[in-house]
Structure 1
Amino acid sequence: MTQKASGFTLTELMIALVLGLFLTGVTLSLYLSGDKTSQLNQQLTTLNEATRSGYTLLAQDIRRAGYSGCGNSVRLVNLSLNAVAGQPWAVWNLGIQGFEQPAPAINGVTPEPNSDALRLMFAAGRSYAVVAHDAAAASLQLNADTGFVAGDLLLLCDETLSSIFVASAVAGDRVEHQAGVVNCSSGLGFPRLCDGTAGNIRQFSTNASLMRLDSVSWYVATSADGLTLSLYRAQDDAEAEEVVYGVEDFQLQFLAGPDDVWQDADAIADWAEVLAVRVSLLLQPPAGAELAPASRTLSYNITLRNRG
């Protein structure tokens, strides 16, 4: 008796092969899609972490804006020649000033023309007590070596006045505030008298404090690698630090005026009225990701602490 051979026909084998290829393709597609999503999520997480770090530093600067020490006296005089010459990093302007796009050059760098910029000033660091002030000799003796150097921007304050000047010379616990190439006069009194010599003399007592005055600017400019834009922080007149890589835009509004409304920088008539800053950052999407601007925009409202 003859037995029939058992097995698959050619048609069945072809169908099985096609089904197998289809399932393999679907599995591979799901794997690649999942891997791409995982990579995208990792990139977004890294970007958000970097942005949060940058925001923390920015918020800290904004909250400290206008701090002039010693109870934050309203009266303040700026003797720095940079202030007289109008250099924006040295002008007090009540500790805050925004620049509507296009922002002016900052420390020799031109910000992205479609982006705003922000400058903040505040007393910072260790406070040194005045042991003796020889106003005639424009010399301060302090309670400890300061570590300051000639050319540092400093703030001297007591309960009624804060005076900004540039250290003309430093030796241990002594700091001088001579007139000349750095200060418009040696006198630290209010109102400012820039006569090139003594000016308006003010004798500070032993309850006065001396601190460094920080002036920082925030803006968006071309990244260090030249491939995109980044958020930068420039301190005094030093080279700026690249804080957040991949920030396309930096927009600002200020809560100010008698009605406490949000306004652009060019609408602010009196920076003393500014109570808060609204910061909006537009982040660059990770490579290969298609994200709408709304999903890449981070906004924060930050309140100034040093307002009466």
Structure 2
Amino acid sequence: MNKHPSPRRIPFRAPQGFTLVELMIAMVLGLLVVGATIGVFLSNQQTYRINEGLSQIQESARTSFEILGREIRQAAGNACGDSTRVANVLNNAGTDEWATWAGIRAYEGGEATGMAPFGTAPGDRVQGTHAVHIQGTDGLGVGLAERQSAAQSANLFLNLPTDEFEAGDILMVCDPNQATIFQVTNYQSQNTTVVANSGAGNPGNCSTGQGYPTVCQNPGTPYIYDTNATVAYFKSVTWYIGHNGRDAEGGFSLYRARVNQGNVVREEVVAGVSDMTIRAHRSGMSGWDAPSALNATAWEQVDALELTLSFLSASDRITTNLNQDDGRLSRDLTHVIALRNRLP
């Protein structure tokens, strides 16, 4: 009798897991993958912050030079052209910087300005930074409708109704021969008349006579503005670098101090501007001068300014040098801006 072979038995093995060595290898590989992922993430984050900082600097530079350049190009002029003969009947002319006609002037880092004094509070000027003071008219203005009489020398009759002017406004009236800076004491809307009497006001007028040169007593120097004259707002502004009170974002901004009815108002214009350096060019000269090298007569010959602005990113810890500006990105940019009213 044949015997059937018994089936081969497969030995039983208990289920087994990974060995310690295998687990350690897997953990090391996992850590390498996680580390590489974190490195890529941090690198992308840093690249994003750098690009964001560069974008902010570019935007700040574009805005700063556009606004500041526009005002410098219009400096020392009025709606009638270049202002070489300017009468000034304001009571504080010669005392307050904003009320004293200069056209344009720059100040070095150690020179004080009346409209933007040095300090550390928000809006105060940063010690060691340059500033520029600009004067002229703001806008096209309004023309006169009829000639004044000698008895109406303090009245300016406008050629169209307007709600632009009111009592307390500082205006400049001009014609091809001269210009006059004065304060409105009354605006008569019913007959569109700007009145510039002497007496009350802030600072008020010292004379009703609007002729050049100024004599601060009534009747002063008489002058009659005709229908070829124009009345516009008088602009007297100082651009400077100021503290903005936001140290976490760099702490500095480009500021503009302006006059509103005899009061100085300071406004933050562009954040992230940390320094300003100015040099001046005079007509007929080949070089550039520091502001302190020019006197009042020399400033009347200035026809261009060279502005160098320094910009900081709001985000810190971007660069490898954390000891400089807390690691913020910084760029220095220079523009040359010509005074349109003094070009040949």
Indicate whether the TM-score tops 0.5: yes
What is the rounded CA distance, in whole Å, between the counterparts of 1:28 and 1:226 in structure 2? 30
Instruction: Say which SS state the counterpart of residue 239 (structure 2) adopts.
Output: strand
Q: Please state how far the C-alpha of 1:295 moved relative to its aligned partner.
A: 4.7
Q: Does 1:287 align with 2:316?
A: yes
Q: Partner residue of 1:274?
A: 302
Q: Percent identity?
A: 33
Q: Does 1:222 align with 2:243?
A: yes
Q: Partner residue of 2:280?
A: 254
Q: Please state how far the C-alpha of 1:174 moved relative to its aligned partner.
A: 0.8
The answer as to whether partners of 1:224 and 1:242 remain within 8 angstroms in 2 is no
**For structure 1, which segment, 21-30 or 252-261, has the greater mean C-alpha deviation from structure 2 after superposition?**
252-261
Q: Partner residue of 2:225?
A: 204
Instruction: Say which SS state the counterpart of residue 240 (structure 1) adopts.
Output: strand
What is the rounded CA distance, in whole Å, between the counterparts of 2:179 and 2:188 in structure 1? 23
Q: Partner residue of 1:96?
A: 104
The answer as to whether partners of 1:130 and 1:140 remain within 8 angstroms in 2 is yes
The answer as to whether partners of 1:179 and 1:198 remain within 8 angstroms in 2 is no
Q: Which amino acid aligns with 1:212?
A: Y
**For structure 1, which segment, 112-121 or 132-141, has the greater mean C-alpha deviation from structure 2 after superposition?**
132-141
**For structure 1, which segment, 137-146 or 196-205, has the greater mean C-alpha deviation from structure 2 after superposition?**
137-146
Q: Which amino acid aligns with 2:155?
A: S
What is the rounded CA distance, in whole Å, between the counterparts of 1:243 and 1:108 in structure 2? 14
Q: Please state how far the C-alpha of 1:121 moved relative to its aligned partner.
A: 0.8
The answer as to whether partners of 1:218 and 1:234 remain within 8 angstroms in 2 is yes
CA offsets per residue over residues 120-154 of structure 1, 9 Å max, x none? 01112242121232443311111123421222221
What is the rounded CA distance, in whole Å, between the counterparts of 1:46 and 1:154 in structure 2? 37
1:68 to 58, 61, 78: 78
Q: Partner residue of 1:142?
A: 158
Q: Partner residue of 1:231?
A: 254
What is the rounded CA distance, in whole Å, between the counterparts of 1:260 and 1:189 in structure 2? 37
Q: Which amino acid aligns with 1:176?
A: V
Instruction: Say which SS state the counterpart of residue 24 (structure 1) adopts.
Output: helix
What is the rounded CA distance, in whole Å, between the counterparts of 2:31 and 2:278 in structure 1? 55
Q: Please state how far the C-alpha of 1:83 moved relative to its aligned partner.
A: 1.6
* 5+ residue gaps, structure 1: none
The structure with the largest alpha-carbon Rg is 2
Q: Partner residue of 1:189?
A: 211
The answer as to whether partners of 1:145 and 1:174 remain within 8 angstroms in 2 is no
Instruction: Say which SS state the counterpart of residue 106 (structure 2) adopts.
Output: strand
What is the rounded CA distance, in whole Å, between the counterparts of 1:82 and 1:15 in structure 2? 85
Q: Partner residue of 1:242?
A: 268
What is the rounded CA distance, in whole Å, between the counterparts of 1:145 and 1:103 in structure 2? 44
What is the rounded CA distance, in whole Å, between the counterparts of 1:260 and 1:273 in structure 2? 13
Q: Partner residue of 2:181?
A: 164
* TM-score, structure 2 as length reference: 0.80
What is the rounded CA distance, in whole Å, between the counterparts of 1:71 and 1:230 in structure 2? 33
What is the rounded CA distance, in whole Å, between the counterparts of 1:265 and 1:257 in structure 2? 15
What is the rounded CA distance, in whole Å, between the counterparts of 1:3 and 1:304 in structure 2? 99
* 5+ residue gaps, structure 2: 1-9, 119-124
